[in-house]
A and B are shown apart, each in its own frame.
Chain A
Amino acid sequence: MKTGKQRALNVLQNILLIVYAIFALFPLIWMVLISFKSDTEVFTTTFVFNPTLANYQEVLLRSDYGRYILDSVIVSGGAVLVSIIVGVPAAYALARYNFPRKEDLAFQILSYKFAPEILVVLPLFMIYQKIGLYDSYVGLIWVYQLISLPLLIWVVRGYFEDISVEIEYAAQVDGYSWYQIFFKMLVPLIKPGLVSSALLAFIFAWNSFTFPLILSSNNVYPVTVAIMKYLGTDSAHYGQLAVASTVSALPAVIFALCIQKHLVRGLSFGAVKG
């Protein structure tokens, strides 16, 4: 039986959590509400209004919004894919092999995350203009590695370090080649870390604003930059803006829901022990 004191504590705890949830979620709810309002009602109503789908029609059917989303998917997805292909072997090497200045290298990779994007984006802009990467998918995918690669390498490295090297030896003795060992024995073991860090990297890349704003224009138009289009010079279509934001938040939410069982455990597991 719970004592009265415990129960009171419990209630208090729940109240605090509810308050926090409202605090955290309310902007999102507000955004969704606005997306169903007409421009005239945006400022005059809160919860009671005449819901309309006009904003959705305008944004999804009568503008290039689909293309922007697709650009974002290509650039962010591509960035994460490249990070996985490059980062997993790199993480393995950092975890398993000893080579001169290994820790320096690992730290340098991490240091890519330190500098604010705005600091590097101007020189990058000039370099990109010169070598013809400006406003191209490859260019953005490349620069997104600054965001996604360090995260992936550091999380996955921790996972590799947790796997005892004898497991690899045992598999060798069992008659497996290195590639078979890697894909059959090691990849399943690092999967939680790989999946969760890849998702985080995807979200960071998706939300990236400074890089696409400056390093791309008409050919490649990720959704974060595109949303600005709905802020006109003379008028702001808050309804359409809300729709654009809502829809752009969806992919990350959907991905996160799909793999949420890996997510919390995945990020803490390797990291804490590593």
Chain B
Amino acid sequence: MARIQLENVKKAFGKVQALDGITIDVKDKEFFVLFGPAGAGKTTILNCIAGIAMPEEGAVKFDGENVNLTDSAHRNVAMVFENYALYPQMTVYDNMASALRSKLYKTDEAEIEKRIQWAAKTMKMENLLERLPSQLSNGQKQRVAMGRALVRTPNVFLMDEPLAHLDAKLRNSMRTELKEMQANLGSTCIYVTHDFMEAMALGDRIAIINKGRIVQIGTGDEIYYMPCNEFTAQLMGEPQINIVNAVISEMDGSLIATINVNGNNIALKLPEDERVYQKIKESNLTNVDIGLRPQNVKYSFEPKEGYFKSSVYSYESIGNKSVIVAECADDQLRMIAPNGLSVGIDSDIYLYFELDRAIIFDANTKEYIVRYDEQSFIDLAASMEEK
């Protein structure tokens, strides 16, 4: 087990800059999640750590030791590939044993047998051991690929979307299993995903990657409650956060945010919060974006005091709850609603923003300025850090 550091790692494929100065410091025994949209460079980061890709600049360090010139065989990392990369000519058992049978990581057969049985049991695939990869479904292949990594005792586990091809039920149980396993093994794990739930559930810390750069690193809560910019805010959370453009003006000592809903200007008073007021005034901005999670938009089908009018765009179930999408100028507003409502498309709906939950972004740079109740979230993050 090791501490993994990347220092200003750069990697280009032809003209495409896949990694543009990545610096991360993964602590020993940490479960570190790389999270970002497709093509962000997540897999390339793993490849650099595994020694499959050579960075053009920067250093990869294991426990403080530079391993740039160590080949992947000698780095002692276990990797789960997104496309499984199972050896087609070998049975599942031999696939899983392959690392332990190599000259470098030679283990005696009895021990191999024991570890494979354990891994097979954890991955619920004892019945598959004698099969060839061509006889497996994608989900099964993925479990074999996981098993092949788990039988080892590497410096770090590198997992590239290892649960992406499993069915929903198996994915949930495997997620729980994985977290527990990692805690028990006391291993460092770097995990790539583009599933927000997985990132939140598994990661001790999450790094948000976009276009080959680190956008933000922090615990799940930190990133969820204090996203450093709108991109991160939109990435974290399902359904997506609502971002509403507003013009700030001052009246009688309070700040007024004026938003435009379908041509009507609606003035909303920002609730008083010393810190928020101070930050907004300091930044001297008149144009901000207000970020509001879907659960913080209230709705009513009757006109109500403080609610403003909009119209329904769609109403769809996402399982145990539903999402109402309402029109709001160029944007759409998402809000959580119970299932089974009879909501007509294009019917009137009245909305209310719980602005005391809002996150304020700079409308020009899209960067985070402040959020309501900021101190309590900073404290929360600090307390998590101590643990």
A interface residues with partner B (beta carbon < 8 Å): 164, 166-167, 169-177, 180, 185, 188-189
Contacts and interface: CB of A to CB of B under 8 A. Distances in A.
B79 A175 contact: no
B341 to A, nearest CB: 47
Interface of B: 47, 50-52, 71-79, 81, 83-89, 98-99, 102-105, 148
A188 B94 CA distance: 14
Given A177-B73, A189-B88, A166 B81 contact: yes
A173 B98 contact: no
A176 B102 contact: yes
Nearest first, the 10 closest Cβ-Cβ pairs linking A and B are A166-B85, A175-B104, A175-B102, A174-B99, A170-B85, A172-B72, A188-B89, A169-B52, A175-B73, A173-B79
A166 B88 CA distance: 12
Contact of A167 (B77, B85, B105): B85
Nearest to A172: B72
B71 A171 contact: no
Contacts of A189: 88-89
Contacts of A169: 47, 50, 52, 72, 79, 81, 85
B83 A166 contact: yes
Contacts of A180: 102-103
A180 B105 CA distance: 14
Nearest to B106: A175
Contact of B50 (A173, A177, A188): A173
B50 A171 contact: no
Contacts of B99: 173-175
Given A166-B84, A173-B79, A174-B148, 12 more contacts: A164-B85, A166-B81, A167-B85, A172-B71, A173-B51, A174-B105, A175-B73, A175-B102, A175-B105, A176-B102, A177-B73, A180-B103
B52 A171 contact: no
B94 to A, nearest CB: 11
A174 B84 CA distance: 14
Nearest to A176: B102
Contacts of B77: 173
A228 B89 CA distance: 47
5 contacts: A166-B81, A172-B52, A173-B99, A176-B104, A180-B102
A170 B89 contact: no
A172 B51 contact: yes
A182 B328 CA distance: 60
Contacts of A177: 73
B73 A176 contact: yes
A174 B50 contact: no
B87 A185 contact: yes
Contacts of B74: 175
A160 to B, nearest CB: 14
B87 A173 contact: no
Contacts of B148: 170, 174
Contacts of B104: 175-176
Given A169-B50, A169-B52, A174 B102 contact: yes
A172 B72 CA distance: 6
A178 to B, nearest CB: 9
A183 to B, nearest CB: 13
Contacts of A175: 73-74, 76, 99, 102-105
A180 to B, nearest CB: 7
A189 to B, nearest CB: 6
Contacts of A173: 50-52, 72-73, 75, 77-79, 99
A169 B105 CA distance: 16
A170 B148 CA distance: 10
Nearest to A191: B89
A188 B98 CA distance: 15
Nearest to B72: A172
A174 B151 CA distance: 11
A106 to B, nearest CB: 21
A4 B83 CA distance: 50
Contact of B98 (A164, A166, A171): A171
Contacts of B87: 167, 170-171, 185
A166 B77 CA distance: 15
A164 B141 CA distance: 15
A153 B103 CA distance: 31
Nearest to B80: A170
Contacts of A170: 79, 81, 85-87, 148
Nearest to B47: A169
A137 B1 CA distance: 59
A241 B85 CA distance: 56
A98 to B, nearest CB: 10
A185 B79 CA distance: 17
A13 to B, nearest CB: 32
A180 B104 CA distance: 12
Contacts of B76: 175
A146 to B, nearest CB: 33
